[in-house]
Amino acid sequence: MKTRHVLLLSLLAALLLLPLVEAEARIYILQIFIFLFLNIVLAQSYDIVDGAMGYLNLGHICFFALGAYSFGILYNAGLAFPLALGLAVAVVVGFAGAISYPFFRLRGAYFALATFGLVKLMEHITINLGWLTGGSNGLKIDPADRSMPVYYISLAVVVAVILLSWRVSRSRLGLAMNAIREDEEVARDFGVPASRVKAQALMISAVFPGMIGAVYTWNVNFIDPNQVYGLKIALTPIAMALLGGSGLLVGPVIGAVFLYLAEELLWTHLAHLQGAIMGLVIVLVGLFMPGGLARLKGVAGLLGWVGWLEEER
Amino acid sequence: MVPILSAQNVSKHFRGLEALSGVDFQVAEGSITSVIGPNGAGKTTLFNVIAGNQAPNGGQIRFRERVISGLAPNSICRLGIARTYQNVRPFLGLSVWNNVKVALLFGRREPLPSAREDAEIESVLEFAQLTAHPARKAETLTPLERKRLEIARALATDPEVMLLDEIVAGLSPAEALQMMETIRVLNGRGITILLIEHVMKAVMGLSSHIIVLHHGVKIAEGAPKDIARDQEVIRAYLGDAGEEG
């Protein structure tokens, strides 16, 4: 077996065994990992559209929030967990397909700005559909501690999103997305059906945030618009993907782990500044480290040595 | 015989500017046909209209009997019309191999069985003399190599017609001769060539038929030797002796 497989499997084994360790603060520790997984899923799925295709989808969090709300509503209507989860994902993917046509007529900064506006729009719609969503009072589901199943499901979603990103990056669709990133007009001239490819990419990138949004509601038992559509949660995955190294499979994971740890360790007292800090991270990375952490010489060397740095195309 | 490519009364204007007005032409299958004309004559606009990048305001483009004006560029490419760009436009961040692979996977009428993809990419790269470093990113290529990549990418779509936009211009005399030979070989493979070119030596040496555009109007067409003697063409290029006085 290759080094990278050994490393990956031991890491996975450790994560699988973690909840079985008896500890006083077990639930607290599980929750820390659950939120780390959440961040990895959001950052990694965000990068399917940005890193591979070059479109900055600042509204990526809408998929998460819509998944969270759809699940909550369906679950409260009496649907079983797996069914509510599946339907919530279907709603999110349908939504991604529906917005892809109008939004992908825009490019560059216009696309980024429009998708950013979508977050606010969705937040207001959620607030104003009080009969369905509970409006600004939020949405409750029957409360319970579900840390254990949530932990394992979240871990499974992390594995799934990484595997899928990897599959896409090596597929025909992935190559079409890369061509669009490089020059969309030329891609079209050489037969790439760009509109269809972009819609497919957006729908793929929506699956996992939708899923993890549903799991989020199941975990925290209560959501409100400010929480799931907030500036902080909207910008964090993007900051993570860019900081870690957009376009590389390991980039978003590295960024998520790094930023999440930094946040947990250092910034607990700066709650109100976090949105601003994430914005600052995005700007600073863009200015001084456009390749992200994973492309720094030392880090890239280490990643290459363990075999986690894929060839770029 | 039905021409492989033809235009009927094609017009294209940008606001007030008439880039093409009422242009008619026919390209015979298997020919090398050139489009010449001074700067701003509408040559590249004509290519853009044929390739589907811009819809004409009037008139029709036909590929054999089929009207193609109004189709999307990706559909036109799949029908068998591939192009190169005046200012080369490789996918800079992709490897040479993947530049060709995009065209091969998406630009062909009928997809190649996946077992034959790699061999086909190799043969296209070999034709374009780009086999040395297929994993190199296109941004590391020299200008000449980039021109060859344009050819390779177009060839990978297995086209019936190639639109070559100033592929010889900017090359050294030796390179230009080589490129002309490449064009001849492509033509020899049965690909009809439509050429925009400023380098007269290439135009005269290669073409069997020449179309002359001036201010968006076709002012002449015919065999190279007739075009070289055509008074109106000479006036368009050199201006009136009277005006200059």
SS (H, E, C) B1-35: CCCCEEEEEEEEEECCEEEEEEEEEEECCCCEEEE
Residue A312 maps to a domain = no
- Give the CATH number of domain B1-80+161-245: 3.40.50.300
Residue A285 maps to a domain = yes
The pLDDT of residue B244 is above 60: no
Beta-strand ranges (E) seen in A29-98 are: none
Residue A154 maps to a domain = yes
B237 pLDDT band, cuts 50/70/90, is confident
Instruction: Take residue B85 and report the two structure tokens written for it.
Output: 């760009």
From chain A, pick out residues whose CB is under 8 angstroms from the CB of B78. Answer: 191
pLDDT at residue B245, rounded to an integer: 36
Quick check: B89 and A175 CB within 8 A? no
B146 touches chain A (CB under 8 A): no
Question: What is the edge-to-edge ordering of all strands in the sheet holding B5-14?
Answer: B17-27, B5-14, B58-63, B66-67
pLDDT at residue B241, rounded to an integer: 55
B18 touches chain A (CB under 8 A): no
B108 touches chain A (CB under 8 A): yes
Per the structure, the count of domains in chain A is: 1
Q: Give CA separation, B162 vs B60, B81, B125, in Å.
A: 19, 6, 17
CA distance A133 to chain B (A): 42
Instruction: Take residue B194 and report the two structure tokens written for it.
Output: 């439509």
pLDDT by residue (tens digit) across A253-310? 999 999 888 887 776 666 677 777 778 888 888 888 888 898 888 888 888 887 777 7
Query: What CA–CA distance (Å, rounded) separates A23 from A299?
Result: 33
Cross-chain CB nearest to A182 (options B74, B91, B135): B91
Q: What is the pTM of this model?
A: 0.92
Phi, psi (deg, nearest 5) at residue B164: -110, 115
Residue A270 maps to a domain = yes
The structural domains of chain B, with segments of one domain joined by +, span 1-80+161-245, 81-158
* DSSP per-residue string spanning chain B: ---SEEEEEEEEEETTEEEEEEEEEEE-TT-EEEEE-STTSSHHHHHHHHHTSS--SEEEEEETTEE-TTS-HHHHHHHTEEE--SS----TTSBHHHHHHHHHHHS-SSPPPHHHHHHHHHHHHHHTT--S-TTSBGGGS-HHHHHHHHHHHHHHT--SEEEEESSSTTS-HHHHHHHHHHHHHHHHTT-EEEEE-S-HHHHHHH-SEEEEEETTEEEEEE-HHHHHH-HHHHHHHH--HHHH-
Percent of chain B with pLDDT over 90: 84
The pLDDT of residue A25 is above 90: no
Residue A200 maps to a domain = yes
Whether A88 and A210 have beta carbons less than 8 Å apart is answered as: yes
Average pLDDT, stretch B51-74?
95
CA count, 13 A, side-chain hemisphere, B33: 24
pLDDT at residue B80, rounded to an integer: 97
Residue A83 maps to a domain = yes
pLDDT by residue (tens digit) across A212-241? 999 999 999 999 999 999 988 999 999 999
pLDDT at residue B242, rounded to an integer: 45
Query: What CA–CA distance (Å, rounded) separates A189 from B225?
Result: 34
Quick check: A181 and B153 CB within 8 A? no
Domain span at residue A29 reads 3-306
pLDDT by residue (tens digit) across B103-125? 999 999 998 999 999 999 999 99
pLDDT at residue A73, rounded to an integer: 97
Quick check: A313 and B73 CB within 8 A? no
Phi, psi (deg, nearest 5) at residue B9: 55, 45
Average pLDDT, stretch B90-112?
96
Q: Which of A271-280, B89-98, B134-143 has the weakest average pLDDT?
A: A271-280
Average pLDDT, stretch A59-88?
97
From chain A, pick out residues whose CB is under 8 angstroms from the CB of B72. Answer: 188, 193
Quick check: A190 and B82 CB within 8 A? yes
Residue A239 maps to a domain = yes
Quick check: A189 and B73 CB within 8 A? yes
Percent of chain A with pLDDT over 70: 96
Which residue of chain A has the CA closest to B83?
Answer: A189
Whether ipTM exceeds 0.85: yes
Which residue is it, tokens 């701003």? B40
For residues A1 and B80, which has the higher predicted lDDT (pLDDT)?
A: B80
Average pLDDT for chain B:
93
B74 touches chain A (CB under 8 A): yes
Whether A122 and A103 have beta carbons less than 8 Å apart is answered as: no
Query: What CA–CA distance (Å, rounded) separates B19 from A46?
Result: 43
pLDDT by residue (tens digit) across A164-214? 999 999 999 999 999 999 999 999 999 999 999 999 999 999 999 999 999
pLDDT at residue B240, rounded to an integer: 64
Angle between helix A26-49 and A61-76 (nearest 10): 130
